[in-house]
Amino acid sequence: MSKKDKENQITEERPPKKPVFLRLFLTLILVMIGGGAIAGYWFTSELKPADPEDAAEIDFVVESGWTSGQISERLEAAGLVRSAGMFALYCKLTGHDGQLRSGEYVLSPSMSTAEIMGRLVEGRVVLESLMVPEGYQLKQIEKVFVEAGICDPEAFWDAVANGPFDYDFLSGLAADDKRLEGYLFPDTYWIEKGMTAERVMDMMLRRFGEIYDSMPENHTGLTENEVVILASIVENEIKLNEERPLAASVFLNRIRQGMRLESCATIQYHYDVKKPRLLYSDLEIDSPYNTYRNDGLPPGPISSPGAASIRAVFEAPETDYLFFVAREDGSGGHVFSRSLSEHNRAQWELRNGGYTAS
Instruction: Give the CATH number for residue 82.
Output: 3.30.1490.480
Q: Has residue 11 been placed in a domain?
A: no
d(CA 266, CA 237) in angstroms, rounded, equals: 9
Q: Has residue 278 been placed in a domain?
A: yes
Query: Is 90 in the same domain as 119?
Result: yes
3-state helix vs strand vs coil in the chain, percent to 5: 45, 10, 45
Which pLDDT value is given to residue 39? 45
Cβ–Cβ under 8 Å, residues 161 and 179: yes
Of the segments 5-9, 40-44, 178-182, which one has the largest average pLDDT value? 178-182
Which pLDDT value is given to residue 182? 98
d(CA 119, CA 201) in angstroms, rounded, equals: 26
d(CA 80, CA 274) in angstroms, rounded, equals: 52
Q: Has residue 161 been placed in a domain?
A: yes
* Count of beta carbons in the 10 Å neighbourhood of residue 62: 19
Residues pairing with 324 in the sheet? 336
Query: Is 134 in the same domain as 121?
Result: no
Please give the residue range of the domain that contains residue 302.
Answer: 224-321
Burial (CB < 10 A; 0-12, 13-18, 19+), residue 250, is: buried
CA 283 to mean position of chain CA atoms: 39
pTM score: 0.76
State the pLDDT confidence band at 358, using cuts at 50, 70 and 90.
very low
State the pLDDT confidence band at 68, using cuts at 50, 70 and 90.
confident
Query: Is 173 in the same domain as 229?
Result: no
Cβ–Cβ under 8 Å, residues 95 and 28: no
- Contacts of 192 by beta carbon, 8 Å cutoff, 6+ apart: 103, 104, 125, 126, 127, 128
- Contacts of 305 by beta carbon, 8 Å cutoff, 6+ apart: 134, 135, 182, 186, 228, 231, 232, 234, 235
| Distances, alpha carbon 190 to alpha carbons 136, 137, 156, 317, in Å | 18, 20, 18, 36
Which of 59-63, 245-249, 292-296, 336-340 bottoms out in mean pLDDT, i.e. has the lowest? 59-63
d(CA 348, CA 358) in angstroms, rounded, equals: 14
Query: Is 133 in the same domain as 121?
Result: no
Query: Is 233 in the same domain as 181?
Result: no
Number of domains in the chain: 3
Last residue of a domain, one of 166, 191, 213: 213
pLDDT in tens, 197-243: 999 999 999 999 999 999 999 999 999 999 999 999 999 999 999 99
Cβ–Cβ under 8 Å, residues 65 and 103: no
Length of the chain: 358
pLDDT in tens, 230-279: 999 999 999 999 999 999 999 999 999 999 999 999 999 988 888 888 88
Cβ–Cβ under 8 Å, residues 167 and 132: no
